[in-house]
Amino acid sequence: MSLRDDVEREGWGPYPLILAGAAVAVGLVFLIDPRWGGFALGGVIMIGAALRFSGFGGPLAVRGRKADAVTLGLAGFMLVLTSLLLDNSAAKALIESLFSR
């Protein structure tokens, strides 16, 4: 194995893993249930944030490492939270009451 092989392998980083997980999550949205699909997609995005924060780059690297990790982490968290709130009328009422004042 030469140095060139290491550079090419690291060039993709965890991108194929995240892409495959996102494809499975979107499939869950359409085939099973939007709540489970959104939860899975948020989880995959948060895994991408953790991998980006630990130093893996590839196509996930857009800005600095910390900025990418925070952006991906917040997006993943919001997807997970939104998927948990779907079809949960008690939680929806609580959130609406917070913003209605």
**pLDDT tens readout for residues 50-66:** 888 887 767 667 778 88
- Write down the domain spans for the chain: 3-99
Q: What is the pTM for the complete model shown?
A: 0.73
**pLDDT tens readout for residues 8-50:** 445 676 778 888 999 999 999 899 888 889 899 999 999 988 8
97 half-sphere exposure, CB direction, 13 A CA radius: 6
Spatial contact of 15 and 59, defined as CB atoms under 8 Å apart: yes
